[in-house]
Amino acid sequence: RVAVLAVDPSSTRSGGSILGDKTRMERLSTQDAAFIRPSPTSGTLGGVAGRTHEIIVLCEAAGYDRILVETVGVGQSELAVDRMTDLFLLLMIAGTGDELQGIKRGIMEAADIIAINKADGGQQERSERTRAELKRAVAMLPTRPSGRRAEVVLCSALQESGIDELRALIEEFGEQDRRSGGLEERRSRQRTHWLQVAIDEALRAEFHNDPSVQEELERLGVAAREGQVSPFQAARRLIARFRKGGAPPP
């Protein structure tokens, strides 16, 4: 059973999102064993939606054994998807400068597999060159925690070439990780990360829901806007109020 969690960017002005990814999956969307959920980022960084991790857990509990997370695109500091998946597949196309951008952003350090799509027609030769360049770049990067370096492959969704090979590589990667204990080690690191995230979210919610903090925030917000107090001083005073009994710092 396959679940696809497709994430669309949200407008920074209206907050809206098109959520049109499902329309590109005509065949898959008609399958009884498939589940497709488009989600907006709603301002969440990292290329994913705010609750993508929880949805993955729910899908696993519901019996989906293949869960694909399509991000909106990621950068050096936006790799949240690497902390919630068993395999990070970086999809690129040749001739856009992505290979150099990838090195600068550090995104290739997180990738387990790099697939160069649209390797067909007039792009075939360019895709081959890009593959060679990326292989040289990957060889200079640190290995992943599993001890492996990213595999670089070519494929064409239009001609459906290289797709079976890519799928076989993904399955092989998963099987090796299960046998070596790498999968459990990866998930252990992820659980530690999400524990910290849960603590941060709970503390933030409790802080903002505290009536005394809300009252003081309104007053200090005005003072900060008018330059009577710095944002850092205001924050320290709010935290002291939240601690109930702590005297505001000078």
Q: Is residue 202 part of a domain?
A: no
Widest CA span in the chain: 71
Residues 6+ apart with CB under 8 A from 131: 116, 152, 153, 154
Q: Please report the pLDDT score of residue 28 as a whole number.
A: 84
Q: What is the CATH number of the domain that holds 173?
A: 3.40.50.300
Q: Is residue 165 part of a domain?
A: yes
**Cβ pair 150, 113 in contact under 8 A:** yes
Q: Please report the pLDDT score of residue 16 as a whole number.
A: 42
102-112 pLDDT, tens digit per residue, is 555 567 888 89
Bridge partner list, 161: 156
Q: What mean pLDDT comes out for the span 170-186?
A: 91
* Two structure tokens written together for 108: 């290739």
Strand ordering across the sheet containing 34-40: 34-40, 2-8, 66-70
Amino acid letter, residue 163: I
Q: How far apart are the first and last CA of the chain?
A: 59
Q: Is residue 77 part of a domain?
A: yes
Picking from 124, 125, 115, the residue whose alpha carbon sits closest to that of residue 164 is 115
Q: Please report the pLDDT score of residue 17 as a whole number.
A: 43
Q: Is residue 199 part of a domain?
A: no
Q: Is residue 176 part of a domain?
A: yes
Q: Is residue 210 part of a domain?
A: no
113-126 pLDDT, tens digit per residue, is 999 999 998 889 99
Q: Is residue 32 part of a domain?
A: yes
Instruction: Tell me which residue range forms the domain holding 81.
Output: 2-180
Q: Please report the pLDDT score of residue 20 as a whole number.
A: 54
Count of CB atoms situated within 10 Å of the CB of 30:
8
- For tokens 């949805």, what's the residue? 55
Percent of the chain with pLDDT over 70: 80
pTM here is 0.77
138-170 pLDDT, tens digit per residue, is 888 877 777 788 899 999 988 989 999 999 999
- For tokens 């109930």, what's the residue? 244
**Distance between CA atoms of 154 and 95, rounded to whole angstroms?**
14
What stretches of 112-151 show up as alpha helix (H) in DSSP? 124-139
Q: How many residues does the chain have?
A: 250
Count of domains for the chain: 1
33-87 pLDDT, tens digit per residue, is 899 888 776 555 444 556 788 889 999 999 999 999 988 765 544 577 888 899 9
CA distances from 146 to 48, 105, 125, 134, 233 (A): 24, 21, 32, 20, 44
Q: Which is it for strands 89-93 and 113-117: parallel, antiparallel or unpaired?
A: parallel
Q: Is residue 38 part of a domain?
A: yes
